[in-house]
Amino acid sequence: MHARNSILGFLRHTVLALITVFVLTPFLWMVSTSLKPPNEILTSELHWWPRQFHGYQNYWDAFTTLPLGRYLLNGAIVTAAIFSLQVLIALPAAYALAKLKFWGRDVAFALVLFCILIPFHAIAVPLFIQLHMLGLLNSYAALVLPFSMSAFGIFLMRQFFMTVPDDLVDAARLDGMSEIGIVWRIMLPTAIPALTAFGIFSVVSHWNDYFWPLIAISDDKLFTPPLGVVAFRNDDAGNNYGPLMAAATIIIAPLVIAFLLAQRRFIEGIAFTGMK
């Protein structure tokens, strides 16, 4: 029986290894290419490790041909702004929906659920027109405002707040706290785990968003990381793969590194929000 277990164990590792190879190959190829000189890239010979280390040159080119650093900064600004606004708007609303009784509450919650159903792509065109009429296209506002209200975030937080005991809220009221005080001083601290999960979901999806920045932004100073790397590829004479792969590596690095440092949180966050 032990022999059988060993064979099964071996098979398990083999298949998992094959899948791992499938998953990791693009990453490895990307990094490998980013370290090679052009003559080693544009060749029909297959090899992984650069014979002549050209990494510094490639990465330098990546940062200087186009303002990659700027793009990364834009990504950070935009995702931070979006998440902050989302929390600012969603938390009070979620609290009201979960803990306060008022006429129209059920309608409001139904509205939230309805909004979650609507795919963003479908309403992108009218949003574009709206911003166009307001003259806000091609600005940070254009990148941030459409996402400032997250119906999904409201839903998530409301579900979470429902599990917070009413006693906690009543005690705060007896202590003289205002409703808005309760939101920020009582609900927010208890909601940190759910907020973390939502934060991860929000940051990941908006850092990686390509569709909306593509249509809302034309000024390359405002490019977000996805737009940046595509611009890089489009700009190139087509054969500058070394720096292009370097640029791609740089673009995915922040999230990947954050993920590797806090894997459990990330996986739980994405899966938790995915389940809902």
The residues in 72-101 that bind other proteins, with binding defined as CB under 8 A, are: 89-90, 92-93, 95-97, 100-101
Binder among 66, 68, 245, 246 for other proteins (CB under 8 A): 245
Q: Which amino acid is at 60?
A: W
- Judged by CB under 8 A, the number of residues near other proteins is 94
Report the site for other proteins in 44-73 (rule: CB under 8 A): 44-46
Q: How far apart are CA 5 and CA 122, in angstroms?
A: 52
| CB nearer other proteins, residue 57 or residue 128 | 128
Site string for other proteins, 198-217 (x = CB under 8 A): ------x--xx-xx--xx--
Q: Which amino acid is at 3?
A: A
- Tell me the H-state helices in the chain: 2-34, 38-41, 55-65, 68-99, 105-117, 120-134, 140-144, 151-162, 166-174, 179-182, 188-190, 192-207, 211-216, 225-235, 241-261, 263-275
| CB nearer other proteins, residue 57 or residue 184 | 184
| CB nearer other proteins, residue 103 or residue 189 | 103
Binder among 49, 52, 126, 219 for other proteins (CB under 8 A): 126
Please identify, among the stretches 50-58, 59-67, 145-153, 191-199, the one whose residues bind other proteins according to the rule CB under 8 A. Answer: 145-153
Please identify, among the stretches 55-63, 65-73, 191-199, 225-233, the one whose residues bind other proteins according to the rule CB under 8 A. Answer: 225-233
Q: How far apart are CA 33 and CA 22, in angstroms?
A: 17
Question: Shortest distance, CB of residue 154 to other proteins, whole angstroms?
Answer: 6
| CB nearer other proteins, residue 53 or residue 210 | 210
| CB nearer other proteins, residue 57 or residue 127 | 127
Please identify, among the stretches 59-67, 160-168, 188-196, 261-269, the one whose residues bind other proteins according to the rule CB under 8 A. Answer: 261-269
- Complete DSSP assignment for 58-110: HHHHHHHHS-HHHHHHHHHHHHHHHHHHHHHHHHHHHHHHHH---TTHHHHHH
- Tell me the H-state helices in 102-150: 105-117, 120-134, 140-144
Binder among 50, 199, 225, 243 for other proteins (CB under 8 A): 225
Binder among 6, 7, 9, 80 for other proteins (CB under 8 A): 9
Q: Which residues of 226-244 are buried (b: 16+ CB within 10 A; e: fewer)?
A: bbbbbbbeeeeeeebbbbb
Question: Shortest distance, CB of residue 246 to other proteins, whole angstroms?
Answer: 11
Contacts 24+ apart (CB under 8 A), 163-171: 164/98, 164/99, 164/190, 166/99, 169/99
For residue 36, give the DSSP letter: S
If one asks whether residue 6 binds other proteins (CB under 8 A), the answer comes out as: no
| CB nearer other proteins, residue 129 or residue 171 | 129
Closest CA to 251 of 195, 207, 200, 205: 207
| CB nearer other proteins, residue 57 or residue 272 | 272
